[in-house]
């Protein structure tokens, strides 16, 4: 094999690997810019050496794939990628090509934002959403209609003068605010935060359980119409129409009449991108006239009538002074890069997250290295690479911490987990403080008059070492503390007293059991009704509870296997904290429907649909949203959908009337 051919093959293989990491694993290992530069290198090599043509080259194909987890659907109109440009010269070249093909002197363009998410094709027939399919390899994609239906900004029914049948394309994105909230919740539950909004949006579409997708604040931004004889003449008009029919189409799009006007739009958004509620990675420029678009057509991978102008991720170069380690409330260790301060995306950055030991090893990051720092949608900036040319000659490989920086206990790492842990839960200060801070937090015991800093102070002064100690604090102990006075001390003690009324499910969440977030705590509380019953449940019992997986079950069982935890619970109980359902909560709760799954459809007479669902759950049953072979009963009211009825009959599932259902729980 010739050298050139070897090089071509190596580049193609490398890019295929990156495509796989990016589209399938949602876990890219190089920046988009680096990827684009490598792709460009391959393109140029291939152009010089047509003798090594490969129809499967990454330069000729859309990078994604279909997965085997969903129905595969062939797109009626192929979904393409976009060509990239990074400079004015690139744009001028493109314009020249367009003028030449069309044989005209001036062309109008629509400039739009390039939303950074996952592409989606929606099919509407008679104003109703019938199908949602991912881009896949461009020819075929995964049918994810059920997942897409959970997104509020996807209209299920259109309004206005929509065409009888058409496809519309858009980007599924996760707005920054929602992304931040999801991550805060994950961190509070002792889980690792998601890397960035794009990966999380794209990963969400691949979930098998649409009720999980529904919990994520995804949005769909639309940008293109496809269909036969659509009543539109320009791209700009199609955006307006789509908006009228009920789609979410950002209103910033502009018509430009020259490359200079395009660049004005580009520059504006490069500077103002941080004011948007979601991430963009550039601008998309499209020939406005649809007739012209037809004439220009497509290359093997992208339309000739459109061009992406990509922003480079905002990057800075600086020196990594020191790697330190932070200990979280669950004992999880996070390595932190302490940087020579540097200006990035409008703020001074001094620290960056290094995620875990694998990440450090993968990028071969060392102290005193010159590193590239990027800030995307992440809350904390991250290091994306090292400038190896500037590495000091006496540099040595980073040896990950072996002992806890706070209490010097040897760190542990469980099989299959990325994070190291300090196992010294009861003797390691940040874990002690973190657990108490979690206990008092708003969604947990919500203790008025007590904040995170005061907790740290109380621990430092040796007044408390666990959350049960809070209930033994006296006003006299608190008054002498820094920034405390008679009144604030009184508020604090009253706040602690009042927390004794917080219901059991929130107390359970407050205990800070790993993986037991708000939702899981509610489920467990409802199922077991008292801490006693929960303590006596084995890991196997726990797994049998609906929606409790092995990971959660083991974590719960392990928590209650520890004597120190049991002692804490005894003390909480003695102080009057709610460790079981109250009489009011217990009222109306039974196990009558345990193990049965219900689908509710139609309109009811005696109870509302929501009340009906509540009755099912309160009696131990499960409510599902769609009929499957796992459904035990369908409760049918007036106007039950004919397709649901048909499906239930086909699967031989008993259909109950409202009265029949109510008599089951009498």
Ligand X SMILES: NC(=O)c1ccc[n+]([C@@H]2O[C@H](COP(=O)([O-])OP(=O)(O)OC[C@H]3O[C@@H](n4cnc5c(N)ncnc54)[C@H](O)[C@@H]3O)[C@@H](O)[C@H]2O)c1
> Binding residues for ligand X, per CB under 6 A?
18-19, 21-22, 28, 30-32, 35-36, 62-63, 81-82, 84, 112, 114-115, 119, 135, 171, 223, 284, 308
428 labeled part of a ligand binding site:
yes
82 labeled part of a ligand binding site:
yes
Partner from ligand X, Zn ion, none contacting 445, C-beta within 5 to 8 A by type: none
Q: Which is nearer to ligand X, 65 or 334 (CB)?
A: 65
Q: Which is nearer to ligand X, 81 or 431 (CB)?
A: 81
404 labeled part of a ligand binding site:
yes
Partner from Zn ion, ligand X, none contacting 36, C-beta within 5 to 8 A by type: ligand X
Other beta carbons less than 10 A from residue 211's beta carbon:
12
Angle formed at CA 136 by CA 133 and CA 137, multiple of 5 degrees: 140
* Catalytic residue from among 114, 241, 375, 382: 114
* Burial letters 640-656, b for 16+ CB under 10 A, else e: beeebbebbeeeebebb
| 159 catalytically annotated | no
Asked if 411 and 401 touch (Cβ cutoff 8 Å), the reply is yes
Q: At what angle do helices 176-188 and 197-205 cross, to 10 degrees?
A: 80
Q: Cα–Cα distance between 411 and 413 in angstroms, integer?
A: 7
32 labeled part of a ligand binding site:
yes
Q: Cα–Cα distance between 573 and 569 in angstroms, integer?
A: 6
* Burial letters 366-400, b for 16+ CB under 10 A, else e: beebbbbbbbbbbeebbbbbbeeeeeeeeeeebeb
10 Å CB burial of residue 601 (0-12, 13-18, 19+) is buried
- DSSP code for 501: G
Q: Which is nearer to Zn ion, 120 or 422 (CB)?
A: 422
Which parts of 396-415 interact with Zn ion (CB under 5 A)? 404, 406-407, 409
Using CB under 5 A as the binding criterion, the count of chain residues that bind Zn ion stands at 7
Please state the closest distance from residue 119 (CB atom) to ligand X, in A: 3
Other beta carbons less than 10 A from residue 304's beta carbon:
17
Partner from ligand X, Zn ion, none contacting 235, C-beta within 5 to 8 A by type: none
Angle formed at CA 246 by CA 206 and CA 603, multiple of 5 degrees: 75
Q: Cα–Cα distance between 421 and 426 in angstroms, integer?
A: 13
Q: Which is nearer to Zn ion, 219 or 406 (CB)?
A: 406
Please state the closest distance from residue 116 (CB atom) to ligand X, in A: 7
135 labeled part of a ligand binding site:
yes
Partner from ligand X, Zn ion, none contacting 404, C-beta within 5 to 8 A by type: Zn ion
Asked if 57 and 46 touch (Cβ cutoff 8 Å), the reply is yes
Q: Cα–Cα distance between 291 and 300 in angstroms, integer?
A: 20
Which parts of 121-140 interact with Zn ion (CB under 5 A)? none
Please state the closest distance from residue 332 (CB atom) to Zn ion, in A: 11
Which parts of 411-440 interact with Zn ion (CB under 5 A)? 422, 424, 428
Looking at the DSSP bridge assignments, the partners of residue 655 are: 634
Q: Which is nearer to ligand X, 119 or 204 (CB)?
A: 119
Please state the closest distance from residue 422 (CB atom) to Zn ion, in A: 3
Q: Which is nearer to Zn ion, 420 or 526 (CB)?
A: 420
Contacts with Zn ion, residue ranges (CB under 5 A): 404, 406-407, 409, 422, 424, 428
Residue numbers in the known binding site for Zn(2+) are 404, 407, 422, 428
Annotated binding site: 32-36, 81-82, 112, 135, 171, 286, 310, 404, 407, 422, 428
Which residues are catalytically annotated?
Answer: 114
Binding-site entries for NAD(+): 32-36, 81-82, 112, 135, 171, 286, 310
């Amino acid at each position: 094999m010739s050298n050139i051919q070897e090089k071509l093959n190596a580049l193609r293989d490398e890019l295929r690997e990156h495509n796989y990491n990016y589209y399938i694993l949602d876990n890219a290992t190089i920046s988009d810019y680096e990827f684009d530069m490598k792709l460009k290198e391959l393109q140029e090599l291939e152009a010089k050496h047509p003798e090594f043509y490969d129809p499967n080259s990454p330069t000729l194909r859309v990078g994604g794939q279909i997965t085997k987890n969903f129905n595969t659907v062939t797109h009626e109109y192929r979904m393409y990628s976009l060509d990239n440009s990074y400079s004015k010269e690139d744009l001028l070249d493109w314009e020249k090509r367009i003028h030449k093909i069309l044989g005209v002197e001036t062309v109008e363009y629509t400039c739009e934002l390039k939303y950074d998410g996952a592409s989606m094709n929606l099919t509407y027939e008679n104003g109703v959403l019938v199908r949602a399919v991912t881009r896949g390899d461009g020819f075929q994609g995964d049918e994810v209609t059920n997942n897409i239906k959970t997104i509020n900004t996807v209209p299920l029914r259109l309004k206005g003068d929509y065409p009888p049948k058409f496809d519309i394309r858009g980007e599924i994105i996760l707005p920054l605010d929602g992304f931040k909230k999801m991550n805060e919740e994950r961190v509070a539950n002792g889980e690792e935060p998601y890397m960035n909004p794009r990966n999380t949006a794209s990963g969400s579409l691949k979930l098998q359980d649409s009720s999980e997708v529904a919990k994520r604040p995804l949005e769909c931004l639309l940008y293109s119409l496809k269909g036969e004889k659509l009543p539109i003449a320009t791209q700009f008009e199609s955006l307006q129409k789509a908006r009228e029919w009920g789609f979410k189409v950002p209103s910033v799009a502009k018509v430009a009449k020259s490359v200079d006007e395009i660049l004005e739009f580009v520059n504006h958004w490069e500077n103002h991108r941080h004011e948007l509620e979601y991430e963009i990675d550039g601008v998309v420029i499209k020939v406005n006239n649809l007739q012209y678009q037809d004439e220009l057509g497509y290359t093997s991978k992208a339309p000739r009538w459109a061009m992406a102008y990509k922003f480079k991720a905002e990057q800075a170069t600086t020196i990594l002074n020191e790697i330190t380690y932070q200990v979280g409330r669950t004992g999880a260790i996070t390595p932190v890069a302490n940087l020579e301060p540097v200006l990035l995306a409008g703020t001074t950055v001094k620290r960056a997250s290094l995620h875990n030991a694998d990440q450090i090893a993968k990028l071969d990051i060392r102290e005193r290295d010159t590193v590239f720092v990027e800030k995307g949608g992440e809350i904390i900036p991250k290091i994306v690479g090292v400038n190896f040319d500037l590495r000091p000659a006496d540099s040595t490989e980073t040896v990950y911490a072996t002992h806890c920086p706070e209490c010097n206990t040897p760190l542990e790492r469980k099989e299959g987990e990325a994070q190291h842990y300090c196992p010294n839960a009861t003797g390691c200060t940040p874990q002690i403080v973190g657990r108490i801070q979690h206990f008092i937090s708003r969604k947990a015991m919500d203790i008025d008059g007590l904040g995170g800093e005061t907790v740290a102070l109380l621990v430092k002064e040796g007044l408390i070492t666990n959350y049960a100690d809070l209930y033994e604090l006296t006003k006299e102990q608190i008054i002498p503390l820094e920034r405390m006075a008679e009144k604030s001390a009184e508020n604090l003690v009253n706040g602690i007293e009042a927390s004794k009324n917080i219901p059991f499910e929130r107390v359970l969440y407050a205990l800070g059991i790993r993986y037991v977030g708000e939702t899981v705590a509610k489920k467990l509380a409802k199922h077991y009704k008292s801490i006693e019953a929960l303590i006596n449940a084995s890991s196997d019992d726990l797994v049998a509870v609906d929606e409790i997986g092995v990971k959660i079950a083991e974590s719960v069982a392990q928590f209650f296997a520890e004597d120190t935890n049991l002692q804490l619970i005894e003390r909480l109980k003695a102080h009057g904290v709610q460790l079981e359902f109250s009489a009011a909560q217990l009222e109306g709760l039974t196990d009558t429907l345990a193990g049965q799954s219900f689908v509710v459809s139609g309109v009811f007479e005696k109870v509302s649909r929501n009340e009906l669902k509540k009755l099912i759950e309160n009696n131990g049953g499960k409510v599902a949203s769609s009929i499957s072979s796992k459904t035990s009963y369908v409760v049918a009211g007036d106007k039950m959908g004919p397709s649901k009825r048909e499906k239930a009959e086909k699967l031989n599932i008993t259909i109950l009337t409202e009265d029949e259902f109510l008599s089951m729980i009498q």
